[in-house]
Amino acid sequence: MINSEAFAVDRRTFGLASLAAGAAVMAPRTASAAFAQAGNGSTRRLGTLEVSAIGLGCMSMNSGNYNAPRHPSEMARLIHQAVDRGVTLFDTAEAYGPFVNEDLVGEALAPVRQRVVIATKFGFAIDSNGRRTGGLNSRPDHIRSVVDASLRRLRTDHIDLLYQHRVDPAVPIEDVAGTVRDLISAGKVRDFGLSEPGLNTLRRAHAVQPLAAVQNEYSLLWRGPEQGLLVVLEELGIGLVPWSPLGVGFLTGDITPRTRFDAPGYSDYRRNQPRFTAAALAANMPLVALVRDWATRKQATPAQVSLAWLLAQRPWIVPIPGTTHAQHLDENLGALDVTFTPAELSELNAAARGIPITGDRLRPEQLAMAGREAPMRR
């Protein structure tokens, strides 16, 4: 059994353990003093938005999904450190907590609001007691009320990037996109995005209100966006924001078949996920071995190689790794200095494609919400 503190220690001592095993992995690169000098570029574009090439996913800071909630002042310091290191994209959602993550992000970023891009999401049904019901709600009146509440929690007069968190099977996407278009006209929202949409729904939404970004899971562990999504995004000029770019921690090299995702005080999201059973972890270890090998070759860490691989796929991909530790923040940003030649990238891609992955990425009820097509207007 491990808790979040043990996980943090494991990750920081990975280099020493690997050296002892003969892997000769060097200490992690840290964030460049001059962000603009980074090999993968300091900024990228998501539609009309210019953001840092790597953003910060804030969900794990206090939502209790992966680790026990951290103290707000500690997480505020981490967010400030991210701003100081050049991060400008911060990702949250009303459903994270619910509500408390937006509160944290809004309070922390209020002093630097004009320097950053805040992304949040609507779409899950949340009852009057602040509990997620398991359902979805993207009715226009609900979207408008959620945006007003998010603006209050985020302590701002506008949301830079507003995503529909999951496609609602009861609401035509034209109604959703039209509502967001009206919110943009009212000055409450700057840009529109979708998370885990079906490809036809993506096109239909974009026809009503141009999309800046789509947020989907994408990593060396799960490469689903390569089955059509990347082509559509390139065609339409939409950016991709990968969530779980480190495979929910698997690609850091710290997780083994003996890892158990439970501890007092919180319920780790991974404990019931098919690809995090002991059998699936054991079966997927060849991918970790591959990433470790490339970490040795690149004098980097597995996490840095994994993020650099994502950045190398397209110039409009902006991963948002989450963390609750400053040293991991620095490590992740060090990926900007890891680059691949075309030959190296082809070699890594070919090797990764040759490794079969065991276990679905989500539970069946969660998978049912991914890639869903919205109903047509009657």
Query: Contact, 183 vs 147, CB < 8 A?
Result: yes
Active site residue 96: yes
Q: Determine the straight-line distance between the first and last CA of the chain, rounded to whole angstroms.
A: 52
* Phi, then psi, of 142 in degrees rounded to 5: -70, -40
Residue of 108, 30, 91, 86 whose CA lies nearest to 56: 91
Residue of 325, 296, 295 whose CA lies nearest to 308: 295
CB environment 321-357: b (16+ within 10 A), e (fewer): bbbbbeebbbbbbbbbbbebeeeeeeebbeebeebeb
Residue of 276, 261, 311, 314 whose CA lies nearest to 1: 261
Which of 96, 163, 218, 269 is flagged as catalytic? 96
* Phi, then psi, of 273 in degrees rounded to 5: -90, 135
Alpha-helical regions (H) of the chain: 4-12, 14-20, 72-84, 100-109, 140-154, 173-185, 199-208, 229-236, 278-283, 285-298, 302-313, 326-333, 342-353, 364-367
Residue of 221, 164, 163, 180 whose CA lies nearest to 361: 221
Query: At 135, which helix (H) or strand (E)?
Result: strand 132-136
Give, as one character, the DSSP assignment of residue 176.
H
Residue 51 tokens read as 């953001």
CB-based contacts of 364, cutoff 8 Å, min separation 6: none
CB-based contacts of 347, cutoff 8 Å, min separation 6: none
* DSSP β-bridge partners for residue 322: 57
Rounded to whole angstroms, the Cα distance separating 71 from 74 reads 5
Query: Contact, 161 vs 168, CB < 8 A?
Result: no
Q: Which residues are catalytic?
A: 96
